[in-house]
Chain A
Amino acid sequence: LAKTTQPISMDSYEGQEVNITCSHNNIATNDYITWYQQFPSQGPRFIIQGYKTKVTNEVASLFIPADRKSSTLSLPRVSLSDTAVYYCLVVANSGYALNFGKGTSLLVTP
């Protein structure tokens, strides 16, 4: 399983764009990059997944450079309700096991 490294914590003000970068230097050719969000007292929730270049959905964008050794989750115009822990995971294409790290604790303040 590829190991991921991401900042322990980040702070932001409401309305700003937040970019959380994750490094995964030993990602394998068929691995996907997946991000989950977790609020206190809840299980993680899928946000976005990508393989290369850019993926966008109604919640976030995911940018993956050509070498795929890192990825950036972009949250546009965050609100207080975006305060959560964000996990970057590398998922084998077989679907086996998710290797959660410690995640990035994002705090959004007014």
Chain B
Amino acid sequence: EAGVAQSPRYKIIEKRQSVAFWCNPISGHATLYWYQQILGQGPKLLIQFQNNGVVDDSQLPKDRFSAERLKGVDSTLKIQPAKLEDSAVYLCASSPRRLLAGVTDTQYFGPGTRLTVL
């Protein structure tokens, strides 16, 4: 079974530029997550999709970050404009089941995209 794919693996931009990350989840997985991991910290959830609908985006800085999951499959996360503090690894994860009460689901993570903002 193929894992979660992310691209690019690395990206270097200057502040105030725009950047986009792409994620292709494991085939058939209903739920998709984007996390931000700053060096030395654990991942922080940015947004969670179930199929193509947003379930939770309470920690997404909406003034500069946006994400979409068209057709309920792959997803893009965009930052516009980037700030120095956005330097981090952006992780995408997916899980197979729809979110249902009483069901806890394993998340499968991709390798991440390392963003450096200069």
Q: Do A and B come from one complex?
A: yes
Q: Which residues of A contact B (CB under 8 A)?
A: 30, 32, 34, 41-46, 49, 85, 87, 91-103
How far is B93's CA from A87's CA once the two chains are assembled, in angstroms? 16
> How many residues belonging to B are interface residues under a CB distance threshold of 8 Å?
32
Q: Which of B43, B91, B104, B111 contacts A95 (CB 8 A)?
A: B104
Do B100 and A94 have beta carbons less than 8 Å apart? yes
B86-111 contacts to A (CB < 8 Å): 91, 93, 95, 97, 99-111
B44 interface residue, CB < 8 Å from A?
Answer: yes
Residues on the A chain within 8 Å of B43, using CB: 44, 98, 100
Residues on the A chain within 8 Å of B99, using CB: 94-96
Do B107 and A100 have beta carbons less than 8 Å apart? no
Residues on the B chain within 8 Å of A34, using CB: 104
> A67 CB to closest chain B CB, in angstroms?
20
Do A98 and B106 have beta carbons less than 8 Å apart? no
Q: What are the nearest 6 A-B pairs in CB distance? A: A43-B109, A100-B42, A46-B106, A95-B99, A100-B43, A32-B104
Do B110 and A43 have beta carbons less than 8 Å apart? yes
For the complex with contacts A43-B110, A94-B102, A103-B42, 11 further pairs of A-B residues with Cβ separation under 8 Å are: A41-B112, A42-B111, A43-B112, A44-B43, A46-B108, A49-B106, A94-B101, A94-B103, A95-B31, A98-B45, A102-B40
B40-87 contacts to A (CB < 8 Å): 40-45, 48, 55-56
> B103 CB to closest chain A CB, in angstroms?
6
